[in-house]
């Protein structure tokens, strides 16, 4: 299982209510940034003190040791901020924090694509996070499957994705998310939102049916099943459209990563 479970459990209280304001998000983000800044400054000071002490042990000269400690601190500060640019130049790969939101019917290939994108980004030196709708439901059972519960669940996932994006993360979301108005609300929460419509025909999804859900839904054993007894409203203007019946996983992943790099 990917990073989603510890992340969601850590922020359980944030997911209990439907996000209706960005105030909590900004407060939370501000607190984390201050902690990170304090940690970074403390580490620089600690590192400089260690350098000074080692220099003094070898030279016995206070002025020289202080100078070495100061130079060490300045060099580390500049190299720290330049590292991302240097790494991007060496690898030819640079992306900004973003939310990649894969939406589509059950069995369309969303999670398979999402996991492949995660692996490809990790190989490029990134640290992406996967938010999978099914995994989140299994971890924290807060909502049902009626329309109101689905919308709340989708907003909760979108809200968490926006929080993580605000902390500099690339977030890959795999979610049926059948309501276009909810997807637009989630778009509004994020700074860089890439909507990926996995437009695989329902007949193909039914043929795959990895969990046997369509069979149960058609038999009336499952109520409110998207595409059978509940509606799915396709995106009106997604950044990316994929069809896993005609495209392989590599092609889908490449298209997403190329869009991320823009």
CATH number of 4-17+95-260: 3.40.50.300
| Percent of all residues in the chain with a pLDDT value above 90, rounded to a whole number | 49
Determine whether 177 is an active site residue.
yes
Q: Which one has a higher pLDDT value, 127 or 19?
A: 127
**Out of 65, 106, 174, 177, which one is annotated catalytic?**
177
What does the block give as tokens for 44?
A: 């620089």
pLDDT at 200 over 50: yes
Residue range 88-135, pLDDT digits in tens: 666 667 789 999 999 999 999 999 999 999 999 999 888 999 999 888
Mean pLDDT lowest for which of 33-42, 140-149, 229-238? 33-42
- DSSP 3-state of 143: coil
**179 close to 233: Cβ distance less than 8 angstroms:** yes
Which residue(s) pair with 230 in the sheet? 226
Strand runs (DSSP E) across 82-192, as ranges? 98-103, 129-132, 170-174
Residue range 57-101, pLDDT digits in tens: 888 888 888 888 788 777 776 666 666 666 666 666 778 999 999
Nearest to 158 by CA among 140, 184, 128: 184
pTM of the model: 0.71
């Amino acid at each position: 299982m990917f990073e989603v479970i510890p992340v969601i459990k850590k922020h359980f209280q944030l997911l209990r209510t439907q996000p209706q304001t960005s105030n909590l998000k900004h407060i939370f983000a501000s607190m984390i940034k201050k902690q990170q800044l304090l940690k970074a400054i403390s580490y620089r000071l600690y590192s400089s003190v260690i350098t000074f002490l080692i220099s003094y042990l070898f030279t016995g000269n206070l002025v020289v040791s202080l100078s070495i400690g100061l130079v060490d601190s300045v060099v580390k500060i500049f190299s720290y901020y330049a590292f991302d640019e240097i790494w991007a130049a060496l690898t030819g790969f640079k992306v900004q924090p973003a939310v990649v939101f894969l939406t589509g019917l059950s069995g369309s290939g969303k999670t398979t694509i999402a996991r492949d994108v995660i692996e490809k980004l990790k190989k490029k030196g990134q640290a992406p996070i996967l938010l999978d709708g099914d995994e989140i439901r299994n971890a924290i059972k807060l909502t049902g499957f009626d329309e109101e519960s689905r919308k709340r669940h989708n907003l909760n996932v979108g809200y968490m994705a926006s929080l993580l994006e605000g902390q500099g993360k690339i977030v890959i979301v795999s979610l049926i998310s059948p309501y276009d108005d909810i997807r637009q609300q989630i778009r509004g929460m994020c700074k860089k939102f890439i909507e990926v419509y996995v437009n695989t025909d329902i007949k193909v999804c039914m043929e795959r049916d990895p969990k046997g859900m369509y069979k149960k839904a058609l038999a009336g054993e499952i109520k409110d099943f998207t595409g059978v007894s509940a509606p799915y409203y396709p995106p009106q203007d997604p950044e990316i459209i994929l069809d896993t019946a005609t495209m392989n996983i590599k092609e889908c992943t490449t298209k997403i990563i190329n869009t991320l790099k823009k």
